[in-house]
Amino acid sequence: MKILEFLNYNTPSNFFDRESLMINYAKKSLILALLAGIGFGATAVQAQERVYVIDQRDVVAKSGFGLCWRTGYWTPAAAAKDPAGCECDKDLLPKEVCEPPAPPMAAAPKPTAEKITVAADALFDFNKATLRPEGKAKLDELVSKAKAIKLEVILVVGHTDRIGSDSYNQKLSERRAAAVKTYLVSKGIETNRVYTEGKGEKQPVTGDKCKGNAPTKALIQCLQPDRRADIEVIGTK
């Protein structure tokens, strides 16, 4: 039974005045509203600045289902700027807002290459693939340099002059490169760090400077720059 009906039918008319009762009821409602406003006034001001309702603890107000209460100012763009946006609406916001990319890692130092050309007559006798003492001394210097850096790889390329057949010179250049690798490994360089290749007589550096094909002393001396081993050390300091 409604309160006014109860008053009409169960209360003497000379005891309550219906109009006065309604006025008193309205006053009490106003008072209650004012009291509520005292507790939530700050929240209302904050709500105009925030897109989520904030309680007196400065915490986002949530429903019984854990959902954030939004204000009338809520939009996806505004939520992306709100401190509680990722907490409340992470699935609706751009990924970069709630999961900013990790700061770029410092670039790893690029491997630096030092190319060393060792004359074949220092490493080998003419037409030979056996290391000479002078050649070993030069390779010892190279090993010291390799051990002073974080070694990536050593590339060894053997070459010959044009004296002799192409097939013979190819095999000779490969044997020379292999001899260099064997020595480097014996000095502590890891075998899987050394790669070898033979180029035979394909990459001369003398050009057309040396005339003739007969293996004369003069021609052998002229072609000395072609009888070489290129050794490239790659690593980081």
pLDDT tens-place string over residues 61-94: 888 888 898 888 888 888 888 988 888 988 888 8
Q: What is the DSSP letter of 19?
A: H
Same domain, yes or no: 230 and 154: yes
Name which residue leads in pLDDT, 104 or 88.
88
User: Residue 193's closest CA among 143, 155, 148, 149?
Assistant: 155
User: Residue 67's closest CA among 45, 42, 89, 94?
Assistant: 89
Q: What is the DSSP letter of 84?
A: T
Whether 144 maps to a domain, the answer reads: yes
Model pLDDT, residue 17: 54
- Tracing tokens 């000379």 back to the chain, one arrives at 14
Whether 28 maps to a domain, the answer reads: no
pTM value is: 0.53
Number of structural domains, the chain?
A: 2
Q: In the listed set 57, 83, 103, which residue is the last one of a domain according to the structure?
A: 103
Q: What is the DSSP letter of 82?
A: S
Same domain, yes or no: 144 and 98: no
Whether 26 maps to a domain, the answer reads: no
Same domain, yes or no: 92 and 119: no
Model pLDDT, residue 50: 84
Same domain, yes or no: 134 and 89: no
Model pLDDT, residue 21: 47
Q: Give, in degrees to the nearest 5, the angle at Cα 206 between 162 and 166.
A: 15
Distance CA 26, CA 31 (A): 9
Q: How many CB atoms lie within 10 A of CB 70?
A: 20
Give the domain range for residue 195: 112-236
Mean pLDDT value of segment 119-132: 78
Residues 6+ apart with CB under 8 A from 153: 193, 194, 195, 234, 235
Distance CA 216, CA 233 (A): 35
Same domain, yes or no: 165 and 64: no
Q: What pLDDT digit, counting tens, does each position of 51-60 carry? A: 898 888 888 8
Model pLDDT, residue 29: 46
CATH of the domain at 199: 3.30.1330.60
User: Residue 187's closest CA among 153, 149, 233, 139?
Assistant: 139
Same domain, yes or no: 228 and 123: yes
Same domain, yes or no: 65 and 159: no
Same domain, yes or no: 171 and 217: yes
Whether 12 maps to a domain, the answer reads: no
Whether 9 maps to a domain, the answer reads: no
- Tracing tokens 């946006």 back to the chain, one arrives at 85
Q: What is the mean pLDDT of the chain?
A: 79
Whether 29 maps to a domain, the answer reads: no
Same domain, yes or no: 87 and 62: yes
Mean pLDDT value of segment 10-39: 47
Name which residue leads in pLDDT, 37 or 221.
221
Same domain, yes or no: 202 and 119: yes
Whether 34 maps to a domain, the answer reads: no
Q: Do 193 and 152 touch, CB atoms closer than 8 A?
A: yes
Mean pLDDT value of segment 32-52: 52
Same domain, yes or no: 168 and 219: yes
- Tracing tokens 């033979």 back to the chain, one arrives at 198
Name which residue leads in pLDDT, 210 or 15.
210
Whether 179 maps to a domain, the answer reads: yes
Signed CA dihedral, 11, 15, 20, 24: sign only: negative
Q: How confident is the model at residue 20 (pLDDT cuts 50, 70, 90)?
A: low
pLDDT surpasses 60 at 5: no
Same domain, yes or no: 135 and 181: yes
Model pLDDT, residue 72: 84
3-state secondary structure of 230: strand
How far are the Cα atoms of 53, 78, 162, 219 from residue 98, in angstroms, in the given order?
20, 14, 68, 75
Q: Do 171 and 196 touch, CB atoms closer than 8 A?
A: no
